[in-house]
Structure 1
Amino acid sequence: MLPTGDRPAERPGVHNQAELAYRRLRERLISGHYHPGDRLTELGICDDLGMSRTPVREALRRLQSDGLVTSTGRGVVVSSLSPQEMLHATQVHGALDALAAKLAAVAQRDGMLSPAQLGALKEASRRVEERGEAGDAPGAWRANLDFHMMLARLSGNPLLEDALDRIWARFAIVSLSNISRRADLTPVQHEAIVRAIIDGDPEGAEAAAAEHVREAAAMYGENHPDRDTRA
């Protein structure tokens, strides 16, 4: 590390602005504000966010590293996932989600989870069901994301939480467009996951979470816009 006097001067607020730009753009991508294949330019994003080009440029570099946008030489395009890439993502997500549910159940069994935390998990599951029954695809997607990230937090493993957050972001755009074409938006396995965690049943929670991801992966595959429908 350079001595303080030898470090290059930094402009005040540049890093904070870059972080803010990154978070705002990431949220727009995850929420469906931009769509797969949309071309984004620095100037357009600056206008959208009301920010200067320096933090926007840094944010785009980070988002490209995350796999959420792809450079084209003339700005970037919002990334999508092929059916094969979606399969890979759901395989990893399934393993991590099952682990998160298992660790949450272990924490409950060992008396590490509070009644408030369990109540919040039940409420998160209820919101997914409520939005699904209402036919609110974006609302169901957001509630589902909140539920699964709560599972990750209850696992007590920050590395697991970070990994799941990155994976959810990686296929968020495709998942949101797929869920809008599904007739049934209500996840049937959330209740089983919650019940197993409350009961302090690690194996049951792990199995329910794994089954939930398998069902979701099958539905995403059936509804993927690039799916090969030939017999």
Structure 2
Amino acid sequence: MTYTKQPQTDAYSLILEAIDVGIYKPGDRLVESDLAERFGVSRTPIREALQRLETQSLLERDGRSLIVASLTHNQMSELYVVRRELEGLAARLAAQHATEEEIAVLRAMVSADDALINDPAALARANRRFHKQIHLASHNRYLVQQLDLVHRTMALMATTSLAAQGRGEIAQGEHDGIVSAIEARDEGRAEAALKEHISVAFMTRLKQDADARERAE
């Protein structure tokens, strides 16, 4: 992936996106000079961005170096517990407050994303866009802020659960059910559908991790 020269204030977003799309994976070392060259910005905003990412626990110290943080099993479990509750609340509020236009956008996203079922990386990007749209449709700025933090931390997972065999098609069906509940203004069903969606994603990821450990033995 190549980058054109960006405003220096974008350094944080550029590094975060690079982690999110897997250019930098957990354990990778981030070097100021390399990042400045890659993104076409000076080292000062890069340094400030790295400090911010470290404060948010997305980077951690390895001696004098900063590396992309890794999530332990317990940290991942804790993250999914919080994500499940917050996402469920977002769906409930979206069923209350989403405009007809916002619901139409969600429906269009589900239809368009069906074409990405066999492309896990593209579907993962579309999945993040879909969930963000639900967050915004909640019309609750504080909830959106908390979910942004959760999803930033999700970037520390080196793989996507959507890469599991058959998961993309199942997830799309779950998305369809979530939007149907929001369309019907059924707050309880929307919340339950989204919470179940996150639970299934978590179970899928746990199985992926178990399979990876088995292969490594």
Same fold (TM over 0.5): yes
Q: Normalising by structure 1, report the TM-score.
A: 0.83
Q: CA RMSD in A?
A: 2.0
**Secondary structure at the counterpart of residue 160 of structure 1:** helix
**Could you tell which deviates more after superposition, 65-74 or 53-62?**
65-74
**Could you tell which deviates more after superposition, 24-33 or 53-62?**
24-33
Alignment CA distance shift 1:129-1:194 (3 Å): same
The residue correspondences of 1:1-231 to structure 2 (distance < 5 A) are: 17=8, 19-108=9-98, 113=99, 115-132=100-117, 135-174=118-157, 177-179=159-161, 181-184=163-166, 185-186=168-169, 187=171, 188-224=173-209
Q: Distance in 2 between matches of 1:80 and 1:125?
A: 31
1:167 CA displacement: 0.7
Q: Write the letter of the residue equivalent to 1:80.
A: S
Check whether the contact 2:124–2:160 (CA below 8 A) recurs between aligned residues.
Answer: no
Unpaired runs of at least 5, structure 1: 1-15
Q: Distance in 2 between matches of 1:227 and 1:66?
A: 28
Per-residue deviation, residues 114-136 of structure 1 (Å, max 9, x unmatched): x321111112223333212xx11
Larger Cα-atom Rg: 1
Count of aligned residue pairs for this structure pair: 206
Q: Write the letter of the residue equivalent to 2:144.
A: E
Per-residue deviation, residues 35-92 of structure 1 (Å, max 9, x unmatched): 1111111111111112211111100011111222112233311112122111110100
Q: Write the letter of the residue equivalent to 2:80.
A: T
Q: Normalising by structure 2, report the TM-score.
A: 0.88
Q: Write the letter of the residue equivalent to 1:206.
A: E
Alignment CA distance shift 1:178-1:118 (3 Å): closer
1:154 CA displacement: 0.2
Identity of aligned residues (%): 32
Unpaired runs of at least 5, structure 2: 1-6
**Secondary structure at the counterpart of residue 139 of structure 1:** helix
